[in-house]
Structure 1
Amino acid sequence: ARDTTELLLLADGRTVDVAGKKVVLATKGLPVERLKPGWFIQLLSVITDPNTAVILMLVGVYGIVFEFTSPGAVAPGVIGTICLVLGLYALDLLPINYTGLALMLLGVAFLIIEAFNPTVVLGVGGAAAFLLGAAMLLRVEGPGFALS
């Protein structure tokens, strides 16, 4: 089929097996409804791009290395850790639930450290990590959308 309308015409009248029952498709003349992905799905499509995943991993590793070589510079460690976890998620090395959980725990840890060592970076990084992790814990369901 060249387009969706032609596909619906070709599928009309075909019999398919749905949950053990034979169903005849009646697709002729049905309107085509296009679903626009939400902002989080669009964000995930950017993060899970292989090029972005490698960049996230590199930024993560370099951020952590810079933090170890320059103790006290909190921002590189916070940004590096978040990027590393997001890079691992993008490369599918961590299952989604564990990635979300790790980001949430990282966010809580940053916020606890922020309470004892007030810096803006830890607070913002902790909130960002927690929110990203909480969003990843939710299952993404919808036609045509799947996480790698």
Structure 2
Amino acid sequence: MKHTITILVENEFGVLTRVAGLFSARGYNIESLNVAPIMDATVSRMTLVTRGDERALEQIKKQLNKLIPVIKVDDISHAIHLEREMLLAKVVVSAESYDALIDLTDQAGAIIVDDHIDSHMIVEMTGRAEQLDLFLQQLEPFGVVEMTRTGPVGMRREAKGFSVTD
């Protein structure tokens, strides 16, 4: 089963290595990982996606909580939550395909962040993974030169926050 885990950690050198090492030592792959400081710059929020059974993930959560720089751990997979990813794609564009590509990005809710009418275009889209997958399929006929995705970031859909003080 897929698990999306949010982790608050002290924003210090070596934290990412410790967390990744914990997963590696137990034979679990990290499918995606996002880390960025929260409003309190001394704390970072990690969003980590992995796959595994409930029992093993419960052990990983316990081990994560034992790491000194880890402040809080939450597996949001079973909670009502939102997940979003961001995609950047560089696409071949010509004078003939330009209007069709503009129409496609508008329909998908994507934005053009770099535009070279007789060369390439870089588009950005944020949404659920399935939306990004579909958009990428629609871009393929134009010729995708390069793409990158963030992997999911997520949070619970409830009034209570996930912070150091909660």
Structure-2-length-normalised TM-score: 0.23
**Which protein has greater RCO, CA pairs closer than 8 Å, 6+ apart?**
2
Would you tell me which structure has more strand in proportion to its own residues?
2
The structure with the larger Rg is: 1
Would you tell me which structure has more helix in proportion to its own residues?
1
